[in-house]
Amino acid sequence: MSAPALDISFEKATWNGFHRLFQFTEGANLNFSRIPMTIPVLTTAVPGAGHLQSQGYYVSLYLPVKFQGDPPVPLPELNIKPYEFSSHCVAVRKFSGFAKDERIVKEAEKLATSLSRSPWAESKTGRGYSIAQYNTPIRIVKRKNEVWVDIDAPELGCKSVGVAVH
């Protein structure tokens, strides 16, 4: 499921999008189904005009297998749309601490630098980057986050696929 969050601040967009997704998982859907939370919560930047700039964000979570074939329909006011994640390759950089606006840009830049020295230097898809967060907001220490960048890597058995923007 995906909730568009057009606030330019990553932190604000993640909070607003996650809040709507949380309502959905707690039963704000036409089936009144409670859906177990999954990790990670993924905040994806919609590419903007410049390097690592964003026009907005999509906040997503994976549905448990039980709900994937026939997902509950979110209440319309939540502005949540189902999104089918296609198989693709991502380059990943782990980081700890809290995913704050200035921190995610630095981590994305570090991943871009690492990629520039790799066999996949020219394979970035240009679709921006995503931040995967694995911990609840109340966890203070030993937090796990990742920055993801889609890449074309047919030699690894996958290639980039189109993404529908909602």
- 84-126 pLDDT, tens per residue? 877 778 899 999 999 999 999 899 999 989 988 888 777 665 6
Predicted pLDDT of residue 162: 35
7 has a pLDDT exceeding 60: no
Predicted pLDDT of residue 93: 96
Locate tokens 């840009």: which residue? 105
Predicted pLDDT of residue 28: 96
What dotted CATH number matches 2-156?
3.20.80.10
- 53-80 pLDDT, tens per residue? 567 888 999 999 999 888 999 999 999 9
Predicted pLDDT of residue 24: 95
Which pTM value belongs to this model?
0.83
